[in-house]
Amino acid sequence: MKDNSVPLKLVALLADGEFHSGEQLGEALGMSRAAINKHIQTLKSWGLDVYTVTGKGYSLPAPIQLLNEADILSHLHQPDLDVIPVIDSTNQYLLDRMDQLPSGHACIAEYQQAGRGRRGRKWFSPFGSNLYLSMYWRLEQGPAAAMGLSLVIGIVMAEVIQSLGAPDVRVKWPNDLYLNDRKLAGILVELTGKTGDAAQIVMGAGVNLVMRSEGASEINQGWINLQEAGVEINRNELAAKIINHLREALPIFERDGLAPFVERWDALDNFINRPVKLLIGDREVHGIARGIDKQGGLLLEQEGEVKSWVGGEISLRPGN
């Protein structure tokens, strides 16, 4: 594993958004200006914009709030948290350690080198811009009992973000958060376990907080961040609240399934009563979204008849 301690100290010095000369930084870190420049290149490779101005030095475009493990832990009801600034993937980190972890163990990162989205897509994860969070959970009832789990995670995250000052955040079936009809966050649930055995589950989430559009060209759909919507949220508080609320909601889901969450979903559903198209493989199904059923299936109305669908992805029909 590469030692990232120097670039991380450098970020901490630049986090105030002010200009710092190469000489000042070199003195603070006990190295030459040439060495500082080399570490600046590492920061750029992590997705940080670092301005270099002759005579002034280096600066970030704006101050950034770094994750603070002690601060997050002080707000958690149970500790079980790893804060790892630079990681391949928070989900993979937990998947590799599942056998030693208690349910509810979480991992947060500043930057993912190999963040994953659904269907094998890459999750764009620039340093310090967003929240990258994963949690492990063991479901004793087995894999079948996990149906609808991504919906519960979406509900919890949307309610937390609303409570922190973004009342218009909504959920999108089966595992995204939306704001102003654009993607704000994504959820990835990875599950192992055979029928008859307990299911080992890792749930990952990425929330766009202040991600800039430069460098995000690889995202293949309309997205938004909270800053653009005029909402400033403390990342450490957000992380702690999501972890606490998930740890409270998941035992309820384990005991009662999705039933207690259906009304909460309907209140948050970005697409309810709107014309949508459902894409399942090469097939396109058009209808009016009518919420979800107790198994987590999408209810779609076509010609007066409501039918439940369990796979695929939805989007608004053009013109709506």
Decide: helix, strand or coil at residue 7: helix
Question: Measured between alpha carbons, how far is 177 from 245 in angstroms, rounded to an integer?
Answer: 16
Choosing from 33, 138, 294, 317, the catalytic residue is 317
Question: Measured between alpha carbons, how far is 283 from 124 in angstroms, rounded to an integer?
Answer: 28
Does residue 200 have a known ligand-binding role? no
Contacts of 291 (CB under 8 A, 6+ apart): 262, 265, 266, 269, 272, 299
Task: Report CA-CA distances (Å) from 60 to 10, 19, 179.
Answer: 11, 8, 27
Q: Which amino acid is at 236?
A: N
SS (H, E, C) 47-96: CCCCEEECCCEEECCCCCCCCCHHHHHHHCCCCCEEECCEECCHHHHHHC
Choosing from 9, 33, 97, 118, the catalytic residue is 118
Task: Report CA-CA distances (Å) from 164 to 158, 242, 246, 269.
Answer: 10, 11, 16, 19
Does residue 295 have a known ligand-binding role? no
Does residue 65 have a known ligand-binding role? no
How buried is residue 286: exposed, middle or buried, by Cβ count under 10 Å (0-12/13-18/19+)? exposed
Our CA dihedral for 138, 141, 143, 149, rounded to 10 degrees, sits at: -70
Does residue 195 have a known ligand-binding role? no
Does residue 89 have a known ligand-binding role? yes
- Judge whether 247 counts as a catalytic residue: no
| Beta strand pairing call for 81-83 and 106-109 | parallel
Does residue 294 have a known ligand-binding role? no
CB 228 within 8 A of CB 213: no
- Judge whether 255 counts as a catalytic residue: no
Does residue 116 have a known ligand-binding role? yes
| Beta strand pairing call for 111-112 and 86-87 | parallel
Does residue 183 have a known ligand-binding role? yes
- Judge whether 183 counts as a catalytic residue: yes
Choosing from 9, 121, 183, 294, the catalytic residue is 183
Task: Return binding residues.
Answer: 89-91, 112, 116-118, 183
Task: Return binding residues for biotin.
Answer: 89-91, 112, 116-118, 183
Residues identified as active-site: 118, 183, 317
